[in-house]
Structure 1
Amino acid sequence: MIEYTYPKAAGLHIKSTKTMAKKPRKIKTAKGLRLKIVNPDSAGIDIADGEMQVCVPEDRDGDNNRRFGSFTEDLIEICEWLRVCRINTVAMEATGVYWIPLYLKLKDYGFDVILANPTQVKNFTQDKTDAADAESLMLQHSYGLIKPSFQPENITRQIRNLARHRMTIVDKSGQETQRMQKAMEMMNIKLSTVISDVLGKSGQAIIRAILDGNHDPKSLAELADPKCKASKETIAKSLEGTWDADKLFMLKQSVDCYDFYQKQLAECDKMIESLLAEYTAEIDIKSNKFVRTRKRTSQKNAVAFDMELYAHAVFGVNIMAMPGMSSNSMLQLVAELGHDFTDKFETCAKFCKWANTAPSNKISGGKLLSSHMKKRKNPVGQVLRICANAVRNEKSEMGAYFRRMKSKSGHNQAVVATAHKMARILYAMVKYNREYNPAKVGCTEKELLIKKRDRAQKALQKLEQKLKEAS
């Protein structure tokens, strides 16, 4: 068993343990092969909003299948009872968000907790009751038949919660931007037609001047930055509207909401940075020398701290060097994976399958029946898809690979194929502590053109030979 100690942050947990889930084993008997009990000290818990059904082996207590409440004192009582019953590993279903308090409480008490996907756990008993479900979980876990779900540890979970909350704030901010555009369109103000971004310097200056009472198109057009492609006359024409009081009120409300969400975003970034500082100061990993990439990234909704430096401290390598990677993408990967994800996924293939970037092959009778991607969302897979889509026009080895896959199978398949390659590269970089090497990705655009030319020349030579033989 490996122990990790993290600093106390936000009143959460300091110490956690991580063990690899035991796999099912077969034993030979006089009557044939049988499954061996690999987790004799196991328990199963059926989770619900108002109650917890806990089952332990029959030899541990006279009433081995008990029902508890869901208040904090009930969770403590569950942990104390499991300790009295000499239980060291627990299996539970991931039911909504109701499992989180008990999961964290069990981790605090030092139990090895296996979180099971409800779609992969079936009740083999006849009756469908809470007691039967708990007993079925305990039975399957004792034989090592439950596949554990990936879960980050302690402070990484806090960073993940805030990173996901940050995405929600960004989405809400985007919705308010759409409402601004809607209010202006209803007044026939075509600002979004002549200015590419209404949230930019020119767009915000004009919108806030409108809310301050300036409705003169020419004076409003003068607020636009000289770098705007549209002329002052065109911008002034787009600002000739009806200026309805109700629409102006809607515009003001949307701007106020947008400002509020931007303030919330700044506060969220400060909290995330403080957690990252604690996290990187506590972990001990082998790191290469930090070399900044100097990559130009979008400033819109970007994190307000040096995410490249924090990501290097967590993973030991600079993943910003990967094509298509941005500060927001790095934050999501750090929050979702943590520094030790390569220890939890034994092979790169398992990591890619979990991230939903590898095809789900169905083989029967030696034939491939289907290789469609599963229809499920994985945050890491979504981030890698965004990065893959960003390299579609890049003049790099990854960009050339994307375009080659696109010519074969189409855009959507190219996104998945490139995301899969990025997942393999990310795993290898962190696992073996190696920096990004473009030469390992594939051929450059120039090398591909040279190969194409050589193939065409060989085909031409064969054709000329056939012409000589025919004559």
Structure 2
Amino acid sequence: MAKKKSSGKPKRRSRGGFPIDNAPVPQSLDTINLNAAGIDIGSTQHYVAVPSDRDSSHVRCFGTFTSDLASLADWLEECGIKTIAMESTGVYWIPVFELLEARGFEVKLVEPGKLKSVPSRKTDVLDCQWIQQLHTYGLLAGSFRPDSAICVLRSYMRQRAMLVANASEHIQRMQKAMMEMNVQLHHVISDITGTTGLAILDAIVAGSRDPHLLAKLRDPRCKNDESTIAKALEGNWREEHVFALKQALELYRFYGSKLSEVDSKLEEHLGTFSDRSDGEILPKLKAPKAGSNSPRFDMRNQLYRVLGVDMTTIDGISGQSAITLISEIGTDMSRWATEKHFTSWLCLCPGSKKTGGKLLSGKTRTSANRAAAALRTAAASLARSNCALGAFFRRIRSRLGSPKAITATAHKLAKIVYGMLKYGREYVDVGNDYYEQQYKKRAMENLAKRAAALNLRVVPNELAG
């Protein structure tokens, strides 16, 4: 009886599975960083561990004063340390990181989730030794931190965001004071911090109570007429509520003045970057509306001078969102090997939680990344845009809903930003109609392939036009 020829594939067995070719498992870990140290960061004390052969007491505790940090750096130099890993604990790591980096050490900032300690052995001394051991074997990846100039820009932008958030709290307090007086100004004008709103609020604080006189302060561009606004301005003018309104208005203006100071520092710092625009001047963006939180300087030309490309040509990316992105990701895209690495770092990619050959969840990882938040905001603004990205957003939204459409569109924006900053690609919008035509073409090709697999043929309906 003739034997069957072997197909060359591994045979599936009833027990024990089938063999899989894999690289041999190493019996021991290789020491990658011989001159590595680990630091457990605290608010009042830092515990530092170095290799056991560098000092008789290879674990030491240092205070957090500047002189203590200088002593820490001196001791690490005496021990021949070249690279250091530390946990990102609150903001306590920042002075240590900056001082050690200035002294020439290679410093890696590691996420707390990647430094899980051995159960039932959680102490500061053991933590710093565990960090040092993991770093010695090259098992720790440092978090992204841009260069010094971008860090300064990022600090200004985050300070600015904090001031905007504080100013918005006082807008809410103004609305609360008016509601307590039953003055419903915010229901008849779109923004109480606009031209009309601030003029009326100033008059109220100054003592004016006649609703018809207050309504005459209406800007001609308001949608509601004077009679409607006058009706909304009839209220119960109790002294304590007017006083609360006055203080909230003063505090709102105070934060506005501080925003102007930050904008001046932003413009000044952007001027310190090298010029990559070849002297070309772009048309200015449209001036922001009254009450807008956007910076008041020429953001488009400042960014074009720094980057050599115009990010504001991307649909959904305004001058402010472009500055926010640059302050978080920097200008050097070589920190990410490909656009896939970049979008994964932003947590804008589908998840890949698999086990047993099955995909358990494709949910996108949650993240507090400010660059990703800026891209999501830009993506949400494209919901009604008559562009290719807007058409893509609406197509995904009709199938999967708004949250997933925002993530998918933000993913596309991230790839466009990566290509523009790394390769200098210009963004060209092909338009809503072209996108829809290409989508229909792809859909027809897919239908034709599926029909051919079933021995069928797709015939276009010429009468449908």
| Same structural fold, with TM-score higher than 0.5 when normalized by the shorter chain | yes
Q: In the alignment, is the contact (CA less than 8 A) between 1:125 and 1:136 conserved in 2?
A: no
Q: SS where residue 178 of structure 1 aligns? A: helix
2:322 partner amino acid: M
Return closer, same or farther for 1:318/1:154 CA change in 2, 3 Å cut-off.
same
What is the rounded CA distance, in whole Å, between the counterparts of 2:74 and 2:432 in structure 1? 56
1:292 maps to 2:282:
yes
Matches within 5 A, 1:356-367: 356-367=347-358
Q: How does 1:187-266 map to 2 (within 5 A)?
A: 187-266=181-260
Q: Which moved more, 1:123-132 or 1:262-271?
A: 123-132
Pick from 21, 37, 59: which aligns with 1:43?
Answer: 37
Corresponding letter in the other structure for 1:142: T
Moved more, 307-316 or 147-156: 307-316
8 Å CA contact retained: 2:281, 2:301: no
The whole-number CA distance in structure 2 between the counterparts of 1:418 and 1:234 is: 41
Distance 1:191 1:133, change over 3 A: same
| Residue in structure 2 matching 1:381, options 358, 372, 377 | 372
* Aligned-partner Cα distance in 1 for 2:442–2:90: 53
- The equivalent residue for 1:323 is 315
SS state at 1:271 partner: helix
Q: CA shift at 1:389, angstroms? A: 0.4
Contact preservation (8 Å) 1:288, 1:433:
no
Tell me whether 1:105 sits opposite 2:99 in the alignment.
yes
Among 102, 126, 129, the residue aligned to 1:132: 126
Q: Please, which moves more after superposition, 141-150 or 287-296?
A: 287-296
* Structure 1, unpaired ranges of 5+: 1-27, 466-471
> Equivalent residue for 1:447?
437
What is residue 329 of structure 2 aligned with on the other side? 337
Helix, strand or coil at the partner of 1:53: strand
Q: Partner of 2:4 in structure 1?
A: none
CA distance in 1, matches of 2:156, 2:189: 33
Residues 437-468 of structure 1: CA deviation (Å, up to 9, x unaligned): 334x997355268659989x999985999xxx
Question: Secondary structure of the equivalent of 1:292?
Answer: coil
Shift of 1:296: 4.2
* Pair 1:305-2:300 in alignment: no
Contact in 2 for aligned 1:314/1:334 (Cα 8 Å)? no
Cα distance, 1:124 vs. partner? 4.0
CA distance in 2, matches of 1:393, 1:138: 52
Alignment TM-score, normalising by the size of structure 1:
0.85
Using structure 2 for the length normalisation, give the TM-score: 0.86
For 1:199 and 1:431, the matched residues in 2 are separated by: 40
After the TM superposition, which of the residue ranges 443-452 and 257-266 deviates more from structure 2? 443-452
In the alignment, the residues of structure 2 paired with residue 173 and residue 311 of structure 1 have an alpha-carbon distance, to the nearest angstrom, of: 26
Among the aligned pairs, what percent are the same residue?
Answer: 38
Q: CA RMSD in A?
A: 2.8
Query: Which position in structure 1 is the counterpart of 2:419?
Result: 428
Letter in 1 for 2:371: V
Aligned with 1:57: secondary structure? coil
User: Residue 415 of structure 1: SS of its match in structure 2?
Assistant: helix
Distance change (3 Å), C-alpha of 1:364 and 1:313: farther
Aligned residue number for residue 355 of structure 1: 346
Structure whose CA Rg is larger: 2
Amino acid in the other structure paired with 2:214: L
1:115/1:149 contact within 8 Å kept: yes
The code of the aligned residue for 1:437 comes to V
Q: Which runs of 5+ in 2 are unaligned?
A: 1-22, 452-456
Residues 443/218 of structure 1: CA separation in 2 closer, same or farther (3 Å cut) = closer
Q: Give per-residue Cα distances to partners, 1:90-124, cap 9 Å, x unaligned.
A: 00000111110000000110111000001111224
Check the 8 A contact 2:284/2:298 in 1, yes or no.
no
